Structure formats: structure tokens, C-alpha cells
Amino acid sequence: MPPRNDARGPADAAHDLLWARDVRDSVRCAGVLLAVLLLLDWGTDRLSLWRGTLWVALALLLFVVLCPARVRAGADWLSVRRLLRERRVRTDLLVSVRCLDGVSQRLVLRDTFGGRVEIDPEVLVRNPPLWFRLEAGARKAAAGGTLLCGATALGRIARRVDREAAHAVFKVSGLE
């Protein structure tokens, strides 16, 4: 039976295996904050409709900030879906791959059609199937001459993926 195609891509697409857990953790953090704020206000008899609405809005804001992007990759494409929008790039037509350092490290991918996505490199490190799809597409882009910059960033991630895979093998085999 051939793989099923839908609006998001083929059924054999790789995705972030820990995404659902990360969403649950975001909901828990926002819920705990809301509960603590409501309990504090209730305990001091300062809870009102206005303050309750403010605490709910603050908890929703925390959820929006913490909610992880859903990353999927297939043959020659990678998509990142946030709460309201999905962005997609063609990995076989990448123009640049840049690593942005700061409070949180981000990997910025751009393709020849103007598509741009930002992802956390940790998602690629903890999900080798996603990394392998991206790497295969980037190799095609480099061979086709469209990938102008990004070999250093991709090499750094490749070393991290290899290091984590070796560490997992040693851990499972008891050689850690």
C-alpha cells in the first residue's frame, strides 16, 4: 500500500517525538501559575472577576511563550507549525542555514522560494530521523549549488547528533 498523502505531506514524514510531552509541560506550567495566583488571591480575599481575568490572561500568555513549535520533515521539505501559522522550506533548495546564538539557540533555514523557518537545534539532536531528512535535503542543495552558506552550522549539528547517538549507545550497553 503506498503512503497516504494529505495536506501536510506524506504519512512517512518524520516528526518531533517529544512534542506532545512538551505541550503537556507547557499546559502544566501555565496551569500551576494560574492555580497559585488564584489561590493566593482567594486566601487573601482579594479575588475578583477583574483579577481572575488578569491571572487567566497571564497564564495564557505563559502558555503561548512556552508552547513548542511542531517540526515535521519529509523528502525534501521541513515544516514548523506554531499556534497560528505553519512555515515550510524546501530542503533540497536551501540557500542558507544560519545558527543564531542568544538566550536560546535558533537555526534559520532559507530556501530559493523565500521560505524561512526557525527551529531549535535541540529538536534535531533529540530526533535523528528529522535530522537525517534535513541533512539529505541539504546535501542535495549543496550538490545543486544552491546552498551558499551553512556548512559550518550543519557540521556542528551533525557532530552533536553523532555525539548524542554514541552516548545513547554507551548508556544502553552499560559502558557509560
pLDDT digits (tens, 9 = 90+) for 68-95: 999 999 999 999 999 999 999 999 999 9
CA distance 111 to 97: 9
Which pLDDT value is given to residue 3? 41
Residue ranges in the chain whose pLDDT is less than 70 = 1-11, 176
Cα of 130 vs its chain's centroid, Å = 10
Predicted TM-score (pTM) of this structure: 0.81
Quote the pLDDT of residue 2.
Answer: 40
- Look at residues 176, 174, 69, 173 and name the one whose alpha carbon lies nearest to residue 117: 69
Helix (H, G, I), strand (E, B) or coil at 105: coil
Q: How far apart are CA 57 and CA 1, in angstroms?
A: 48
93/119 Cα distance (integer angstroms): 18
pLDDT of amino acid 8: 47
What is the structure's pLDDT at 174? 85
- Answer whether 138's CB lies under 8 Å from 91's CB: yes
CA distances, 111 to each of 67, 87, 130 (Å): 26, 12, 17
User: What is the spatial distance between Cα 81 and Cα 18, in angstroms, rounded to a whole number?
Assistant: 15
Where in the chain are the domains?
A: 15-66, 71-173
- In three-state secondary structure terms, 15 is strand
The residues that bridge with 32 in the sheet, in sequence order, are none
Tally the C-alpha atoms within 13 A of residue 57's C-alpha that lie toward its C-beta: 6
CA dist., res. 139 & res. 144, Å (int): 8
Give pLDDT, residue 11. Answer: 58
CA nearest neighbour of 66 among 20, 30, 15, 118? 30
- In this structure, the strands spanning 106-111 and 94-100 are antiparallel
